[in-house]
């Protein structure tokens, strides 16, 4: 299936060459594809590591890979070969963006560093997804989501709740940094248009990105020099800040501002809470987080979830049922907005996929095809560079490219 950009989407006409793998980079380029960009995913002959992580209906096309790489085209090149590198440089010649997640040393060794590539395309926005930023002693070190959760302070913050360091139950660093790369790349594209068409190099270092993200609320008194207390936001690290049990389940309730707290006191038949010196103002409640949360918890345990939710909504107090990930597929709101859609896929049959969440002109972006088989678009892309059928056959035979149409298979087995 050939992927074409929708002309009604914001990034229609933008061409992205994607040399990323696993989650951070592919999540970034997935969003760019959702927004209309033509994304050409360049993989080694062994394929992106993510292809091998189960489950998978088709060998080499795992569920994670197919979901994270939707809307992209696949070109399989052995970039260790000089001829393959030349093909990539031809492909980049009219691209708008090149984004990679290799170590800078590896890109330089391949002759694909910014200076080398920029000479072929001065308009190019070249994005480095790095573990650690330039100029620091960690620059060039390998980094995964776990690595960055650890070094950024996130894993240790969890010890405030769990009693020992632990990772959060999602690949937080990969996804936050992928989102950061989206805004960095789109900002650089806008700058290019405003400043005469010259491209630029963009760095998105994971460590610095996550340190900045984490300190949004946790900087607190460390803003001042000397600091006014620990760099932690007390409500976020309180063990009492949790979903509250009802008579038959759990709900999330936050009677946060003074108006909401007053309404909660009236709703629960405890008007004295409004004048309780521990809870009278937001500042008071923030200083007494544990007592505040425990007071809410005790009140909510008296009724069922079905009784509380409409009453809390009517009182203007934010509240929600505590869902499992399985519950999301049956959530009535998500059903109302058509969040999950069924894609009839030629390779794996029916695929249930969330649509892009962003709405443009009151219409959601269309659901793009699932991530392609390795090298699915190799032949078409190479022909677009002017190569003949015979030349492509020879490249396949020599292991420089992978093209399923010529019966070639991955040279190596990827492992997670």
Q: According to the model, what pLDDT value does residue 6 have?
A: 63
**pLDDT at res. 69:** 97
Q: Would you kindly state where each structural domain of the chain is located, as residue ranges?
A: 15-213+340-406, 244-321
Query: Which residue, chain included where needed, has tokens 């003074």?
Result: 258
Q: Exposed, middle or buried: residue 92 (CB in 10 Å: 0-12, 13-18, 19+)?
A: buried
**Adjacent-strand bridge partners of 128:** 100, 203
User: Is it the case that residue 137 has pLDDT exceeding 70?
Assistant: yes
Confidence at residue 405, expressed as pLDDT on a 0 to 100 scale: 74
Looking at residue 369, its pLDDT comes to 95
Give the HSE-up count for residue 31: Cα atoms under 13 Å, Cβ half-sphere: 20
Q: How far apart are CA 165 and CA 155, in angstroms?
A: 5
Q: Is the pLDDT of residue 408 over 80?
A: no
* Pairing assessment for the beta strands 250-253 and 244-245 based on DSSP bridges: antiparallel
Mean pLDDT of the chain: 93
What number is the average pLDDT over the span 271-276? Answer: 96
| Residue 413, pLDDT above cutoff 70 | no
Give the pLDDT score at 415: 32
Whether the per-residue pLDDT at 410 is higher than 80: the answer is: no
pLDDT at 114: 97
pLDDT of residue 363: 85
Per CATH, 15-213+340-406 and 244-321 having the same topology is answered no
pLDDT digits (tens, 9 = 90+) for 326-341: 999 999 999 999 999 9
Long-range CB pairs of 405-408 (<8 Å, 24+ gap) are: 405/378, 405/379, 406/379, 408/375
Q: Identify which of 49, 40, 114 has the alpha carbon closest to the alpha carbon of residue 77.
A: 40
What per-residue string of b and e applies to 178-215 under the rule 16 or more CB within 10 Å gives b? bbbbbebbbebbeebeeeeeebbbbbbbbbbbbeebbb
User: Dihedral (C-alpha) 389, 392, 398, 404: value to the nearest 10 degrees?
Assistant: -100
Give me the mean pLDDT over the 404-412 stretch.
Answer: 55
- Of 219, 226, 289, 283, residue with least CA distance to 254: 289
pLDDT in tens, 231-267: 999 989 989 999 999 999 999 999 999 999 999 999 9
pLDDT at residue 364 in the model? 85
Mean pLDDT across 346-362: 93
* CATH tag, 244-321: 3.30.1540.10
SS3 184: helix
pLDDT at 360: 87
In angstroms, rounded to a whole number, what is the distance separating the alpha carbons of residues 246 and 264? 15
Token code pair at residue 343: 């894609």
Asked whether residue 269 carries a pLDDT value surpassing 80, the answer given is: yes
Report CA-CA distances (Å) from 272 to 148, 265, 266, 280, 303: 46, 7, 9, 10, 20
**What pLDDT score was predicted for residue 1?**
39
Has domain 15-213+340-406 been given CATH number 3.90.1300.10?
Answer: no
Cβ–Cβ under 8 Å, residues 18 and 26: yes
| In the predicted structure, residue 414 carries a pLDDT above the cut 60 | no
For residue 270, which of 295, 245, 234, 290 has the smallest C-alpha distance? 295
pLDDT for residue 362: 84
For the segment 182-230, what is each residue's pLDDT rounded down to a tens digit? 999 999 999 999 999 999 999 999 999 999 999 999 999 999 999 999 9
Running DSSP on this structure, what letter comes out for residue 19? Answer: E
- Read off the DSSP letter of residue 220: G
């Amino acid at each position: 299936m050939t992927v074409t950009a929708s002309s009604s989407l914001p990034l229609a006409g933008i061409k992205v060459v994607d040399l990323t793998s696993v989650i951070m980079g592919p999540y970034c380029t997935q969003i760019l594809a959702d927004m209309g960009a033509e994304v050409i995913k360049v993989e080694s002959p062994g394929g992106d590591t993510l292809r091998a992580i189960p489950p998978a209906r088709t060998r080499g096309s795992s569920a994670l890979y197919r979901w994270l790489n939707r809307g992209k085209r696949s070109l399989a090149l052995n970039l260790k070969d000089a001829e393959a590198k030349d093909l990539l440089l031809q492909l980049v010649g009219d691209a708008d963006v090149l984004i990679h997640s290799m170590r800078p040393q590896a890109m330089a060794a391949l002759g694909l560093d910014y200076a080398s590539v920029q000479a072929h395309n001065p308009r190019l926005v070249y994005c480095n997804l790095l573990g650690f930023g330039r100029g620091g002693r960690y620059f060039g070190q390998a980094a995964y989501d776990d690595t960055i959760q650890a070094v950024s302070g996130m894993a240790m913050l969890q010890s405030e709740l769990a009693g020992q360091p632990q990772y959060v139950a999602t690949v937080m660093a990969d996804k936050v940094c992928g989102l950061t790369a989206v805004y960095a790349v789109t900002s650089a594209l806008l700058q290019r248009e405003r400043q005469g068409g010259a491209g630029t190099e963009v760095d998105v270092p994971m460590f610095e990105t996550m340190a900045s993200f984490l300190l949004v609320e946790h900087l607190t008194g460390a803003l001042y020099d000397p600091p006014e207390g620990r760099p932690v936001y007390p409500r976020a690290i309180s063990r009492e800040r949790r979903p509250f049990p009802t008579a038959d389940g759990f709900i999330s309730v936050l009677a946060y501002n003074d108006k909401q707290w007053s309404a909660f006191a009236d709703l629960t038949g405890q008007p004295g809470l409004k004048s309780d010196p521990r809870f009278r103002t937001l500042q008071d409640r923030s200083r007494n987080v544990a007592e505040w949360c425990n007071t809410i918890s005790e009140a909510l345990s008296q009724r069922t979830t079905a009784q509380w939710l409409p009453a809390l909504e009517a009182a203007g107090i934010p509240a929600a049922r505590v869902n499992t990930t399985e519950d999301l597929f049956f959530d009535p709101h998500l059903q109302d907005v058509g969040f999950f859609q069924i894609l009839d896929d030629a390779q794996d049959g029916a695929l249930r996929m969330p649509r892009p969440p962003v709405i443009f002109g009151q219409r959601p972006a269309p659901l793009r095809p699932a991530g392609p088989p390795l090298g699915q678009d190799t032949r078409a892309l190479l022909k677009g560079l002017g190569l003949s059928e015979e030349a492509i056959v020879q490249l396949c035979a020599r292991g420089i490219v992978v093209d399923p149409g010529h019966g070639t298979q991955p040279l190596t087995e990827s492992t997670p």
